[in-house]
A and B are shown apart, each in its own frame.
Chain A
Amino acid sequence: MAALDRRALLKAALAASSGLVPGGCQQMQRSFNGELLSPSLGPGHQIRDGYRPQPDPANWEETDIAIVGGGIAGLSAAWRLRKAGSKRFQLLELEPVSGGTSRAGETSFCRHPWGAHYVPVPDADNAPLWQLFDEMGVVKHDAGVREIMEGVLCREPQERVFAGGHWTEGLYPWAVATEEDLAQRLSFQTQVAKWIDWRDRDGRCAFSIPAALASDDPEVLALDRITMSEWMEAQGWDSEPLFWLVDYCCRDDFGLNIDQTSAWAGLFYFCARRESSAQEAPPVLTWPEGNGRIVQFLADAAKPQLRPNRAVTAVTDRQDHVEVISFDTRTKIAHGLRARRVVLATPQFLAPYLISDCPAERRTDASTFQYGAWIVANIQLTDRPAESSYPLSWDNVFHNSRSLGYVVATHQSGIDHGPTVLTWYLPLCDDLPADARRRLMQLSWNHWAELIVGDLQQGHPHIQPLISRIDVMRWGHAMIQPRPGFVSSVARKRAAVPVDRIHFAGTDLSGVALMEEAFYHGIRATEEALLAEDNSVPRFYEAIPHRGQG
């Protein structure tokens, strides 16, 4: 019953002889179609251009708290309000579906992500997030020990990389690494270990999640003044596979190249999820639809308060309350809401457009927030491409590509045969984000489809006949970019300070776009709003003890 390696190879050769078309030179003969998608841009541009409808007197309502924005931050704010026993609030969401960049999509045979698609198992300290996962039914309690259930931990094989003509396990491109490369990789790991175990005088980590609880020691913040590549070059490293790996991680988590990413953010990626260097990186939670599952759980719970298709046009402070004016994007009817307080769970760049008479300083601060543009495509396949090296994994990466590769939607369900959906990611890492957004909106579906098929053909030369559909989502402001100087800037900190009765909860306030950060800011801003009225409200994140020496 032993595996016959040679035979497997022979079989691959025979299969190849019946259908081989070396990629690259043939015209794309398309047997599939698809759509070019984007989040609702119309209302956003209307508001930017000064559209301010006024509601009829009959269309005014009152509530305690208005949450603007139904991404993870806004939904987490609603979750925190329910924990405080409050049901008198409204959540206004521009889109017909909640979730922002964590939303999910669906085909006839499976659900799939449109953006964020995993969360690493949180630190034991991150009690609120454990609480959420517990409510979602994915935590197992066994003799007082909490564990994430096996079915939501990413199934092996987790990731593979296509380099030197083969797929190999993991992300590091072993196939193209020399002895010297491996020595530098070890040296990099030693530096990472040093930063994981680093503690300031108060016992705080250099990097932690939520990022707000990490050390603000000058030694750590100095890392934010240089780029990740500058920091690595200063260590004397020049290994191509090492730089590639770190560059891949920067593009994956921040949508920035290694020479655009702050060294603080680069090290944050490698250090923040490990309490001590003796610990391995935690496994990740994932679902077929990615973080869409978390969105669905939170949105279902907030259903009575959720108002989809509502474009907010003005948030105006009136001394003892805040007026929130919005219109229904389908009926165009304007609605007024008088709320005691507002949690603005939108990206900061929107604040100057939404807040009436927005203070000049906030306008200036908001302009320092830069966002990357992303393409996320869902590729429907009628069957899997043939494999001859390391098998199809959850995350599949091409060494020789600017794309981030693809994740497989059916992987976590254990569906290993037949149709599937690949979710393919490409951050546009231009130096000027506005250039990237222009390119994003100018290029046609044909252009993206050809680019995507060409990219996939590197590792799957025969994939094209298997493709039945490609839908392409254009995210203009997909995620905040931690370029050098931003995380340590005064502007970023100041943007989290409330303006009168308006509290800010956008994920971008962290400088790194992670689900855990969105969750943290949603809770933090809501607690600020609640504490302003009632000082007995407990802070969920205050109770986190500082980690001991690692």
Chain B
Amino acid sequence: MNRAPLFLLYINVLIIATCGLIYELLAGTLASYLLGDSVTQFSLIIGIYLSALGAGAWVSSFVQEKLARCFIEVELGVALVGGFSVPILFLAFGYVSWFQPLLYGLVFLIGTLVGLELPLLMRLLKEEVDFADLVSRVLTFDYIGALVAAILFPMLLVPNLGLVRTSLLFGILNALVGLWGTWLLRPLMKQKGLGALRGRAILVIGLLVVGMIKAESVTHLAEENQLSGKIIHAESSPYQRIVVTENKTGFQLYLNGHLQFNSVDEYRYHEALVHPPMSAVEAPQRILVLGGGDGLAVREVLRYPSVKAITLVDLDPAMTSLAEHFPPLGTLSEHSLQHPSVTVINQDAFLWVDTAQEKYDVAIIDFPDPGSFSVGKLYTSFFFNRLRQVLTDSAVLNIQCSSPLVSPKSYWCVVTTLEDCGFEVRPFHAAVPTFGVWGFTLASKSPLSKPLNLPVSVAAELRFLDQNVMDHLFVTPKDLQRVDTEVNRLNNQVLVHYYEREWSRWQ
């Protein structure tokens, strides 16, 4: 070989070395973010990877002939395994329980293949170059490649491409080195099978390019594995990740991965949320809905002709806009949020309640479950006392408060807290197949002045409740009996702790 191809081979070494370190960094970063504990993860990944390099070097001694062809095959192998490593791991994370063995196995496999590269290449070149020169040059370019990778990875690649695309891009680079090798190393190879080798190299590059184009949907796919159906809408607002999925039975809304409703049986939940408080007040006029940005609670409220004004306070404009502009939800909510009597306010209810000007006859509270402190504050005695101030003396409120069967402490903690604030509380529950047994608390400032009386005209429109069924919601079965809890205060947030403990048992 003459000078030029030799120099080009050193460039190959540089690229190979860069790719090698990039896969290692990708695996380390991915493991840190998925599994946490970056020190352990990086330490394990580096250790496994380096030992695999050694294994690769050892394996190379068994390759006696067809060195050049073998080198190209190894390149294509690295391109496929390394290039797809991050997408595979991302998807597997939601799917399999043996994620860690898979992660370390992949790292070992990539390391072994990369470990084969240089020994093979050096043996290919040893006939052409003085051994001392060869070792010095190859190692020089190898270490320069490592430096290039170490600098590019944090500065350029991860910020601009993200982990998935970086992985695929370097797979393509490896495959290109392989393809290029079919020309560069041609003097060292037999003509036979060269075309097929090139064909395979191009196929690998093609696969990786398709991967690059589809990288965006890897995110979707990964989420779909976690959720229960095909994603038909997904967006990230400053407050949460909103995802709508669809399956044979209907569609489902998830906020931060937590199911909010299933279109198949949401009517059971929303009828139980809205009609008991509405039928406990004589001709309610001013209605407050906190949370419930999906518009489904408002749909139920609008069945009452006495209602003059509905104020809906939901943190996230993306959520209330979804109810207005995402057709399936618009249809399901009967476009309730566009009704002229509805005012939508996008604010944290915790802050809004201090600025409220009017008093309400009924308050319907449909916050997410108290799984975080920023939601948990909306179930504290502090908040309930503020809420009192915006209710008329005869007002009735109803709060969705998780499952009394799965999380009895959480459920009864809301009841205890309301009682501590001087509310009269009537706990009840309803069966919502998607959620199971679901709990609510009907509360009022003074004992209810009249029995719950579902208007006949309203009952006619409902699918779940009639007067008889509604009365039975207040019958407490043996397995839902009251448990003692502390009061949920702003400075203890016991409810968040109860909730975390109780739900983690069911996972």
Residue of A nearest to B502 (CB): A2
Which residues of B are found within 8 Å of A179, using beta-carbon distances?
none
Give the interface residue-count category, chain A. Answer: 35 or more
- Say whether B246 faces chain A, with CB atoms less than 8 Å apart: no
Q: Pick the contact of B159 from A7, A11, A19 — CB < 8 Å?
A: A19
Which residues of B are found within 8 Å of A25, using beta-carbon distances?
154-155
Which residues of A are found within 8 Å of B164, using beta-carbon distances?
17
Q: Pick the contact of A11 from B241, B258, B374, B496 — CB < 8 Å?
A: B241
Which residues of B are found within 8 Å of A18, using beta-carbon distances?
162
Q: Are A21 and B155 in contact (CB under 8 A)?
A: yes
Q: Are B36 and A166 in contact (CB under 8 A)?
A: yes
A157 CA to B492 CA in the complex, in Å?
A: 8
* B101 → chain A closest CB, angstroms: 16
* A474 → chain B closest CB, angstroms: 33
A418 CA to B32 CA in the complex, in Å?
A: 27
Q: Are B94 and A150 in contact (CB under 8 A)?
A: no
Q: Are B493 and A157 in contact (CB under 8 A)?
A: yes
Q: Are A3 and B226 in contact (CB under 8 A)?
A: no
* B352 → chain A closest CB, angstroms: 11
Q: Are B158 and A21 in contact (CB under 8 A)?
A: yes
* B187 → chain A closest CB, angstroms: 42
A25 CA to B156 CA in the complex, in Å?
A: 13
- Say whether A414 faces chain B, with CB atoms less than 8 Å apart: yes
Residue of A nearest to B374 (CB): A416
Binary contact readout B56-99 vs A (1 if CB under 8 angstroms, 0 otherwise):
00000000000000000000000000000000001001100000
Q: Are A17 and B158 in contact (CB under 8 A)?
A: yes
Given contacts A13-B90, A154-B491, A156-B490, whether A4 and B257 have CB atoms under 8 Å apart is yes
In chain A, positions 214-249 with a C-beta closer than 8 Å to chain B are: none
* B241 → chain A closest CB, angstroms: 7
Which residues of A are found within 8 Å of B257, using beta-carbon distances?
3-4, 7-8, 11
In chain A, positions 15-51 with a C-beta closer than 8 Å to chain B are: 16-22, 25-26
- Say whether A155 faces chain B, with CB atoms less than 8 Å apart: yes
Q: Are B37 and A414 in contact (CB under 8 A)?
A: no
A12 CA to B219 CA in the complex, in Å?
A: 12
In chain A, positions 144-187 with a C-beta closer than 8 Å to chain B are: 150-151, 153-158, 164-166
Q: Is the interface of A mostly helix, strand, loop or mixed?
A: loop
- Say whether B204 faces chain A, with CB atoms less than 8 Å apart: no
A22 CA to B373 CA in the complex, in Å?
A: 28
Q: Are A414 and B351 in contact (CB under 8 A)?
A: yes
Q: Pick the contact of A153 from B90, B351, B377, B490 — CB < 8 Å?
A: B490
Which residues of B are found within 8 Å of A165, using beta-carbon distances?
32, 36-39
A6 CA to B222 CA in the complex, in Å?
A: 11
A74 CA to B286 CA in the complex, in Å?
A: 51
Residue of B nearest to A13 (CB): B33
Q: Is the interface of B mostly helix, strand, loop or mixed?
A: helix
* A464 → chain B closest CB, angstroms: 12
A416 CA to B377 CA in the complex, in Å?
A: 10
Residue of A nearest to B215 (CB): A17
* B29 → chain A closest CB, angstroms: 7
Which residues of A are found within 8 Å of B380, using beta-carbon distances?
150
* B155 → chain A closest CB, angstroms: 7
Which residues of B are found within 8 Å of A154, using beta-carbon distances?
491
Interface centre among A1, A3, A5, A14 (most CB of B within 10 A): A1
Binary contact readout B151-186 vs A (1 if CB under 8 angstroms, 0 otherwise):
000110011001110000000000000000000000
Given contacts A156-B492, A391-B372, whether A9 and B36 have CB atoms under 8 Å apart is yes
- Say whether A190 faces chain B, with CB atoms less than 8 Å apart: no
* A227 → chain B closest CB, angstroms: 32
Q: Are A10 and B506 in contact (CB under 8 A)?
A: no
Residue of A nearest to B438 (CB): A1
Residue of B nearest to A418 (CB): B238
Q: Are B93 and A10 in contact (CB under 8 A)?
A: yes
- Say whether B350 faces chain A, with CB atoms less than 8 Å apart: yes
* B289 → chain A closest CB, angstroms: 19
A251 CA to B57 CA in the complex, in Å?
A: 54
* B433 → chain A closest CB, angstroms: 14
> Mind listing 24 A-B residue pairs with CB under 8 Å?
A2-B506, A3-B371, A3-B503, A7-B226, A9-B93, A10-B34, A11-B256, A13-B30, A17-B158, A20-B154, A20-B158, A20-B163, A26-B155, A151-B382, A155-B493, A156-B373, A156-B490, A165-B32, A165-B36, A165-B39, A383-B238, A389-B36, A414-B490, A415-B351
Q: Which B residues are closer than 8 A to A by beta carbons?
A: 29-30, 32-39, 90, 93-94, 154-155, 158-159, 162-164, 219, 222-223, 226, 238-239, 241, 256-260, 315, 348, 350-351, 368-369, 371-374, 376-377, 380-382, 385, 402, 435, 489-493, 496, 500, 503-504, 506-507
